[in-house]
Structure 1
Amino acid sequence: MAAIVVLFCTLIFSSLSFFGNALSSNYYDKTCPNAEEAITNAVKNAINNDQTVPAALLRMHFHDCFIRGCDASVLLKSVGKNTAEKDGPPNISLHAFYVIDNAKKAVEDLCPGVVSCADILALAARDAVALSGGPTWDVPKGRLDGRVSKATETRSLPAPTFNISQLQQSFSQRGLSMKDLVALSGGHTLGFSHCSSFQSRIHNFNATFDVDPTMHPAFAASLKSICPLHNKAKNAGATMDPSTAIFDNTYFKLLLQGRSLFSSDQSLLTTTKTKALVSKFASSQEAFADAFVKSMIKMSSLNGGQEVRLDCKVVN
C-alpha cells in the first residue's frame, strides 16, 4: 500500500505551484541528491532517543504551514522587540527543534546553502509518520524560507476548543476541505496533550453537566483523576491515543467510542459529512492513509518564502 501511495504522489504531485513557488519531487536531484537520506537519519537518531519526537515534528510542521504557508517561520527565534511564532501561546509546548537543526547541519555539510529549512521540516514530518508505522510519500520540494515570524499571528491557529464551523473556516482559509480537516485530524493518533487543552470538557462543562455528556463515562473519570479541577502539575496530561504507539487509524475508532480528548475532535461527529469520514477512516486503515497523504501534500505545498536560510533559527 505504501508503494502505491508513493507512486500516486509521484505522478499527481510531481510539480505543484502554490503562492507562486513551483514545487517538484525531484527538486534536489542534481543539487543535493543525498539530502533526504541525511534528514531521515537525523529524524531516526532523534526518535531512537526520544519517542515524543514524531508527534512533535508533525505538529511543528502543521503549525508552520497554518501561519504563512510552509516557510519555516515557526523555527525563527525571537529577536529584539519581535516575539516570534515559536513563543506565541499555542506554540509554547512545541519541542524537538534540535532535530531540524541537526538535519540542517547534516545537509549543509553535503551542499551548503541549497536546501531550505522549510523543505527539511516538511521531509522530517513525513519521516516522523513513516518511522512511526504510517504511510510514506514523495514530498514535493522547492519551498523557500520566510523572513517574518510574529507570535501575534499564532492566534489564527485552530484551537482544541473549536467547533466544526470554526474548524471549517480555519481550514478553508488555507484552501483545505472538510475531508482534509478530518484526515489531518488523524495526526492526533500521535502525541500528548496537557490538561489545559481538554479541562473544559471534564470540569464545569455547562450549567447542566459537569462533564461533556458525549464523553465515555469511564474515559472522563480517568481524565478527571489525571487532571483534577485545581491541578497544579505543570506537565500533567494524557496521551492522544493510549491504545497504540504507532501511526494508525485508532484515533478514529476512539473518537466513535467517545474517547477523544479535544472538543475539536468531538466536533468531527457533529455533521453528516465529517462523521461519515470518521467512520470510513475508522473502518479502513488504507482509506485513512491514502487521504492523510493527499491532505499532507496539499497542506505542505502552501509556501510564500523568500530565501534559503543558512541557519534555521535566524534570517540570512
Structure 2
Amino acid sequence: MAKSINFILLFSLLAFAPFCQIEGSLYPQFYEGSCPRVHDIVNSIVAKAFAKDPRMAASLLRLHFHDCFVKGCDASILLDSSGTIISEKRSNPNRDSARGFEVIDEIKSAIEKECPGTVSCADILALSARDSTVLTGGPNWEVPLGRRDSLGASIQGSNNNIPAPNNTFETILTKFKLKGLDIVDLVALSGSHTIGDSRCTSFRQRLYNQSGNGKADFTLDQNYAAKLRTQCPRSGGDQNLFVLDFVTPTKFDNNYFKNLLANKGLLSSDEILLTKNKVSADLVKKYAERNDIFFEQFAKSMIKMGNITPLTDSKGEIRKHCRKINK
C-alpha cells in the first residue's frame, strides 16, 4: 500500500513538474497565477504600437538583444541616468538609435494597474520581442519568464559587448560565445535583420573605403552600392535610414539570407556571414532555401539568448518604473 501511495505521489509530482520552477530557472507559466493577463496586455500594446509605426517591431526586438548582451537579460538598458547610474542609452550602439522605450513604459503602466509589483521590465522586453516577431509574420515561441530587474547599468559593457556593424567575423563570434551562444545562434539571430532599418553611419565605410583604398566593398553588389550612395554621402546624412531587407522590409522572413547570397546585405556584419566562414556560409544558404528551418532555429536561439544570466529568486528587484530603480 505504501509503495502504491509513493508511486501516485511521484506521478503527481512529475505531472506537475513542467509548471514548477526549479530554483533560478525561467518557465513560461511563471505569471499564470499572479498576473494571468500579462500576455494579453503586452500583445495588445505592442500591436497598437506596430500599427502606428511598423518600425517599432524591429526596435523592440533590438532592445531585448541589446539588453541581454550587456549584463544579461535584466532590463538594464531601460534605466535612465541618475545618481550613480550612467545609462546604457548613451553608449555607441544605442545612442541615437535605440528606441521603443515609451512603448515599454506604456506596457509597464498597464501591467502595474493590473497586478502591481509583479511583472519585471526584463520579462516585458522578452515578451515584446516575441510579439514583435509574430506580428511581422515570424515564428512564435513560449517565452520562459521569471526574470528580475537589475539595480544598475553598464555603459562600458554596452560599448564593449554588443556586436558592431564593422566588427570582424571572429570578433562577433567571440562576443556571442562569451554569452554562451554559438555560430548557429549567431547566424539565426542575425536573421532578425529581415526587418528594421540601419543608419547611413553604420555602413558608410562599405560604400567608400572598406579596405582603405577609397573603393566600395568588393563583396557588395556594385549596383546596390551605387543606389545606397545616392542617400548616404561621404559626409553628412549620418542619421538617414535604410531598410535592412530591401525586398520585404516589414515582413519577418528569410529574404535577409537571400539578399546575402545576392551580395546585397546592407551591413558588413551581415555579409561576412557568407564570406568569412564556411560553417556560417552553409547556414546562410540553408536558411535562404528553407524558411521553416530558419524560423525553427530563430525561436530556439531567442529562447537561448533570453536565458543569458537572468536575475531570479531574490536577486535584483521588480521595478515599479522601468526607467529607474525602486527607492
- Taking structure 2 as the reference length, the TM-score comes to 0.89
Q: 1:120 aligns with which of 120, 124, 127?
A: 124
- After superposition, give the CA deviation of every residue in 1:185-227 in whole Å (9 maximum; x if it has no partner): 0000111111111011111222446010011111111111111
Q: Residue 113 of structure 1 aligns to a residue in which SS?
A: coil
Change (3 A) 1:100 1:84: same
Q: Residue 294 of structure 1 aligns to a residue in which SS?
A: helix
Q: Residue 297 of structure 2 aligns to a residue in which SS?
A: helix
8 A contact 1:215–1:259 mirrored in 2: yes
Counterparts of 1:206 and 1:235 in 2: how far apart (Å)?
A: 23
- 2:42 is equivalent to residue 39 of structure 1: yes
- Residue 234 of structure 1 deviates from its aligned partner by 4.4
- 2:63 is equivalent to residue 60 of structure 1: yes
Structure 1 unmatched runs, 5+: 1-12
8 A contact 2:25–2:146 mirrored in 1: yes
- Residue 146 of structure 1 deviates from its aligned partner by 0.4
Q: 1:300 aligns with which of 273, 282, 306?
A: 306
- 2:72 is equivalent to residue 69 of structure 1: yes
Change (3 A) 1:163 1:108: same
Change (3 A) 1:207 1:44: closer
8 A contact 2:232–2:238 mirrored in 1: no
Change (3 A) 1:275 1:16: farther
- 2:229 is equivalent to residue 219 of structure 1: no
Change (3 A) 1:154 1:207: closer
- After superposition, give the CA deviation of every residue in 1:234-289 in whole Å (9 maximum; x if it has no partner): 43131101211200000000011100111111111121100000000000110000
- 2:170 is equivalent to residue 165 of structure 1: yes
Equivalent residue number for residue 105 of structure 1: 109
Equivalent residue number for residue 4 of structure 1: none
Q: Mean Cα displacement is larger for which, 236-245 or 211-220?
A: 236-245
Equivalent residue number for residue 7 of structure 1: none
Q: 1:276 aligns with which of 282, 294, 318?
A: 282
Q: Residue 309 of structure 1 aligns to a residue in which SS?
A: coil
- After superposition, give the CA deviation of every residue in 1:153-205 in whole Å (9 maximum; x if it has no partner): 21221101111111110000000010000000000011111111101111122
| Structure possessing the higher radius of gyration over alpha carbons | 2
Q: 1:204 aligns with which of 209, 213, 216?
A: 209
Report % sequence identity. 41
Aligned length, in residue pairs: 301
Change (3 A) 1:25 1:82: closer
- 2:38 is equivalent to residue 28 of structure 1: no
Give the letter aligned to residue 228 of structure 2: L
Change (3 A) 1:81 1:71: closer
Change (3 A) 1:234 1:167: closer
Q: Residue 226 of structure 1 aligns to a residue in which SS?
A: coil
Equivalent residue number for residue 237 of structure 2: 233
- After superposition, give the CA deviation of every residue in 1:37-80 in whole Å (9 maximum; x if it has no partner): 00101101111111110010000000000001100000000113
Which 4+ residue blocks in structure 1 deviate beyond 3 angstroms? Answer: 13-17
- Residue 150 of structure 1 deviates from its aligned partner by 2.4
Change (3 A) 1:16 1:209: farther
- 2:100 is equivalent to residue 96 of structure 1: yes
C-alpha RMSD of the superposition: 1.6
How is 1:186-201 mapped onto 2 (pairs within 5 angstroms)? Answer: 186-201=191-206
Counterparts of 2:268 and 2:92 in 1: how far apart (Å)?
A: 19
Q: 1:177 aligns with which of 174, 182, 190?
A: 182
Change (3 A) 1:212 1:292: same
- Taking structure 1 as the reference length, the TM-score comes to 0.92
Give the letter aligned to residue 29 of structure 1: E
Q: 1:287 aligns with which of 273, 293, 298?
A: 293
Structure 2 unmatched runs, 5+: 1-17
- 2:158 is equivalent to residue 148 of structure 1: no
- 2:142 is equivalent to residue 138 of structure 1: yes
Counterparts of 2:114 and 2:241 in 1: how far apart (Å)?
A: 41
Change (3 A) 1:55 1:16: farther
Give the letter aligned to residue 66 of structure 1: F
